[in-house]
Chains A and B, each alone.
Chain A
Amino acid sequence: VRPDGLCDFVNQRWSEYTGFGRSEVLGDGWQAAIHPEDRSSFLESATAIRRSEVGGETEARLRRRDGEYRWFAFRFAPIANKRGRTVGWCGIASEADERTAPPKGIADGRLRRFVDGLPTQVIFLTPSGELEYVNRQVRDYYGKSLDELKAWASSGAIHPDDLPGVHKGLSRLLGEGAAYDAHQRMLRADGSYRWVRAQMVPCLDAQGNVTRYCSIQTDVQELKQAEDLLAGEVQLLEMVARGLPLLDVLDALSHLVEELATGCFCSTLLLDADGTHFQVGGGPSLPDAYNRVLHGLRIDPCYGPCSLAVNTKALIITVDAINDPRWRGSSWPPLIESYGFASCWSMPILSGDGRVLGVFAVYRREPVGPTDFEQQLIERLTKIAGIAIERAQADESLRTSDRNLRRAHAQLAEGQRLSKTGSFTSDIQLDVHSWSDEFYRIFEIDPATSPSVEVVRDRVHPDDLDLFDRVIQQGLDGGDPDFAFRLLTPNAGVKHVHGVARVIEHVDGRPIFMGTVQDVTEAKLAEAALKDIAAELRRANDDLTRVHHEITVAQALGLTGSFTWDVLADEHHWSEGTHRITEVDPSVTITAEDVRQAVHPEDRTIVDAAMDMARAGHPFEYSARINTPSGAIKFIHVVGHPVEDAEGRLVFVGALKDVTASKTAEAALKASETALKDAHRDLAHAQRQSRIGSFRTDVRADERAWSDELYRIFGFEPGSEISSEKIHARIHPDDQPWFEPAFGRAISEGITFNETFRIVVPDGTVKHLHVIAEVVGREEGRPIYVGAIQDVTEAKLAEEALLASEAGLRRANQFLTLAQSISKTASFRWDVAANDKQWSGEIWTILERDRETSATIDLNDEIVHPEDRDVAARMEQAMIGGRDFDGEYRVVLSSGAIKHLHIVARRLDAERLVYVGAVQDVTELRLGEQALSRARAELAHVARVTTLSALTASIAHEVSQPLSGILNNANTCLRMLAADPPNVSGAMATARRSVRDTTRATEVILRLRALFARKAPAFEMLDLNDVAREVMALSTGELQRGRVSLRTELANALPPVHGDRVQLQQVILNLLLNAADAMAEIEERPRTILVKTRLDDDMAVLSVRDAGVGIEPQVREKLFDAFYSTKPSGMGVGLSISRSIIESHEGRLWAAPNDGPGATFSFSIPSRSTAGFNRSDSPSDVVRASPKRRSRKT
Chain B
Amino acid sequence: MIIHLRIPEGVYLQALADLQRPHPFAFERVGFFSSVLASMGGDQQLVLLNGYHAVPDDHYDDDPEYGAVIGSEAIRTTMQRVLDESRGQFHVHLHHHAGLPRPSRTDRSSLPRIIKSLRTVGPKEASGYMILSDDRAWAEVSLPGSSGPLLAARIAVAGFPLRFLK
Partners in one complex: no
